Amino acid sequence: MSGMRFARHGEWNMRDNADLHEKITAILHELKFDYPSRPEQLKILIKDRNGVPVAFLQPVSVEFVGENQFIKILADWREKNWDAYPTVFKVTMEGTGKWVNDQLINRDDRILFLISAPDGKPAGHLGLSNFDFTNCEAEIDNVVRGAHNVLPGIMTTALEVLVEWSFTRLGLKRLFLRVFYDNARAIKLYERCGFKGVKKIPLNKIIDGEVIRYEEIQEGQNLKIDRYFYLMEKHNESSGR
Ligand SMILES: CC(C)(COP(=O)(O)OP(=O)(O)OC[C@H]1O[C@@H](n2cnc3c(N)ncnc32)[C@H](O)[C@@H]1OP(=O)(O)O)[C@@H](O)C(=O)NCCC(=O)NCCS
């Protein structure tokens, strides 16, 4: 311990961030690989205002790889909500299955949670991605209500639970997200959960065969503005920032 007192400021930060990186990837790994054997211990409960569990966050874990019934649900939700995503492509079972394996399970800095009703039926999903371990930040990812007319208000409560868990369990200092500026319903959800708008980011639409992509226009690029992202953020008030 005593030797650490002489570490320069930058070295302190590097050490802290390496610890945070290791801690977070270990937590995400445990959720993705150990959930099937310890669901009761690892599920994250979503409670109503009276403290009664109404649903839970269930990590998309190894048990879902190659599970066609589950992959079909994800593919259907992706297809139905195409307008909320910056990339639009032909959704297939094969592509969705590969995405689950490569981008959710085997990427150590990303996680998707199903919002599951007590009977196990999923109502939607949301997750975390694009971790910045140096600044202790991550991006809210893939927020979708899949089942309508069930669990009113669950997307709000689930996001509140994910935010709280990210700050307390993972130790993040800031969460951010990018939502299309014309997506009023989603912006309303994020504002209800305490996210504040930071800036509008201009986007250029690119049509590449059957794929449509919206790409952020960088400073100095003289491209047509077709749409905007809205960058929103929420700080961990107890992290001293
Ligand atoms: C964005 C999206 C997730 C919001 O879902 P949602 O169903 O509106 O969210 P909630 O489950 O929190 O429900 C909120 C609604 O239920 C009502 N409600 C009822 N009980 C509630 C409760 N206990 N708590 C909060 N809201 C409650 C709210 O008033 C609100 O209705 P309103 O918008 O008419 O005022 C959903 O519209 C969606 O999946 N959109 C497509 C994908 C998308 O755009 N994702 C965002 C990408 S950035």
Distance between Cα 190 and ligand 1 center (Å): 9
pLDDT, residue 241, reads 54
Q: Cβ(154) to ligand 1 under 6 A?
A: yes
Ligand 1 atom, smallest distance to 144 CA: 39
Domain map of the chain by residue range?
Answer: 2-173
Q: Compute the distance between CA of residue 117 and CA of residue 150 in angstroms, rounded to an integer.
A: 9
- Ligand 1: atom nearest CA of 145 is 39
Cα(191) to ligand 1 centroid in Å equals 11
- Percentage of the chain beyond pLDDT 70 is 93
Largest interatomic CA distance in the chain: 61
Closest-CA residue, ligand 1 atom 6, reads 155
Give the CATH number of domain 2-173; options: 3.10.20, 1.10.1660, 3.40.630, 3.30.70: 3.40.630
**Whether the CB of 140 sits within 6 Å of ligand 1:** no
Taking the centre of ligand 1 as the mean of its atom positions, its distance from the CA of residue 155, in whole angstroms, is 6
Q: State if residue 54 touches ligand 1 by the CB under 6 angstroms criterion.
A: no
Torsion angle (degrees, nearest 10) of CA 215, 103, 14, 167: 90
Residue 14 confidence (pLDDT): 59
Ligand 1: which of 143, 176, 182, 227 to mutate, most ligand atoms within 8 Å of CB?
143
- Which residue's CA is the nearest one to ligand 1's atom 9? 155
pLDDT at 5 over 70: no
pTM of the shown model: 0.93
Any idea which of 47-51, 55-59, 65-69 has the lowest mean pLDDT? Answer: 47-51
What average pLDDT does the segment 137-147 reach? Answer: 98
Number of C-beta neighbours around residue 85 at 10 A: 15
Min mean pLDDT across 15-29, 44-58, 78-92 is at: 15-29
- For the stretch 35-51, pLDDT in tens is 999 999 999 999 988 99
Residue 3 pLDDT > 80: no
At residue 1 the predicted structure's pLDDT band, cuts being 50, 70 and 90, is very low
**Given the DSSP bridges, would you call strands 174-180 and 137-145 parallel, antiparallel or unpaired?**
parallel
Buried b (16+ CB within 10 A) or exposed e, 33-62: eebeeeeeebbbebeeeeeeebbbbbbbbb
Mutate to test the pocket of ligand 1, among 80, 150, 156, 231 (most ligand atoms within 8 A of CB): 156
Task: Quick: pLDDT tens for 147-204.
Answer: 999 999 999 999 999 999 999 999 999 999 999 999 999 999 999 999 999 999 999 9
Does residue 189 line the site of ligand 1, with CB under 6 A? yes
Q: Check pLDDT > 60 for residue 7.
A: no
